[in-house]
Structure 1
Amino acid sequence: MPKTRADLFAFLESLGIETTTIEHPPLFTVADSQALRGEIAGGHTKNLFLKDKKDSYFLLTVEEDAVVDLKQIHHQIGAASRVSFGKPEALMELLGVIPGAVSLFGLINDSEQRVRFFIDEALMAHDVVNAHPLTNDATTSIGSTDLLRFVRATGHEPTILKLSE
């Protein structure tokens, strides 16, 4: 059973990480998010859940308007082949979220560390990063250094790379 938003917030609190969360109607695309966001400060994320031919999984978190070359990114992330988007069933199994709610916070559900996590260096230039808290009807703001602490606390090692063009 995937962790809930309440489980996520309790985990963050146990780490001493402060966040703020804004509720909003469900958002399924970056365009939806941009239209309804309002004035939430910081970097806003776009997340790509990818897999290679050996069924290795990758989560790439970039700025919402970043362009990622999916034909070449496999070289940077160490994939065995070109990558494609992971299926919704794998997304739920590994990160506990549905399409439209993909988020770095889903790493809390990957207890076996089957997903390798990459974050774009341009996004890490922001003091605050915004992401969905396991559902797409809210946005949670977290400090960028706290974001890295969260990722490590889930058992994942964040890799910061220039992922976008």
Structure 2
Amino acid sequence: MDASSAYQDSLPVSSDALLAQLDDWGIDYRLHEHVPLRTVEDAKGVEDAIMAEGEVALRLKNLYLRDKKKRNHLISLEQDRDVDLKALGAELGLGNLSFGSADRLLENLGVRPGAVTPLAMINGRDHNVRFYMDKAAQNADSIYMHPLVNDRTIGLSRDAFLAVMDRLGVEIQWV
């Protein structure tokens, strides 16, 4: 199965259910539907159609990682930031980091490869996944991310994003 909305009903929380929850909470977002985006390069191909002109936007790349103690971590960074896993692990005091498997990703965050997103913490919070967010988000007007599937992108204001994380009970660790 791919990570598109065609298979969202096989996820623990569907994209439609997540968006309905955001609506119930009164969270404003801008929804964009597009071809499935599997990489940062794919995402760059649709950015102009999605983002408002002149906005300070944070576009994310998301890493599902495990440390040597088998703890799970979701790290959301500005999409063009270079990542050295060894240096990142040292900076966060986690030691060696490696990518989690697709099976663990689905089990712990409820998404498939290509659809990793901070919004997956709707599942991750119940699986002791630790969430880290790029400090650049603190200065962004908008933050763009997948709503659990990779053929949709939502834009949230910084305040709306923080409100969602608060509603989910997710502690953000800034990096």
TM superposition score normalised by structure 1: 0.90
RMSD of aligned alpha carbons: 1.4
What's the secondary structure of 2:61's corresponding residue?
Answer: strand
Please state how far the C-alpha of 1:160 moved relative to its aligned partner.
1.6
Distance in structure 2 (CA, Å) of the matches to 1:136 and 1:9:
14
Please state how far the C-alpha of 1:83 moved relative to its aligned partner.
0.2
Please state how far the C-alpha of 1:111 moved relative to its aligned partner.
4.3
What's the secondary structure of 1:101's corresponding residue?
Answer: coil
What's the secondary structure of 1:47's corresponding residue?
Answer: strand
What's the secondary structure of 2:41's corresponding residue?
Answer: helix
| Partner residue of 1:128 out of 139, 142, 158 | 142
**Structure 1 contact 113–156 (Cα < 8 Å) conserved:** no
1:138 aligns with 2:138: no
Alignment of 1:21-100 (within 5 A): 21-41=31-51, 42-79=57-94, 81-100=95-114
**Structure 2 contact 58–136 (Cα < 8 Å) conserved:** no
- Map Cα deviations across residues 1-27 of structure 1 (whole Å, 9 max, x no partner): 510111111221222211011000001
1:151 aligns with 2:141: no
The amino acid across from 1:51 in the alignment is: R
Structure 1 unaligned blocks of 5 or more: none
Distance in structure 1 (CA, Å) of the matches to 2:161 and 2:87:
27
Q: Relative to total residues, which structure has the larger helix share, 1 or 2? A: 2
TM superposition score normalised by structure 2: 0.86
Structure 2 unaligned blocks of 5 or more: 1-10, 52-56
**Structure 1 contact 113–155 (Cα < 8 Å) conserved:** no
Q: Give the number of equivalent residue pairs.
A: 160
Residue 7 of structure 1: aligned partner: 17
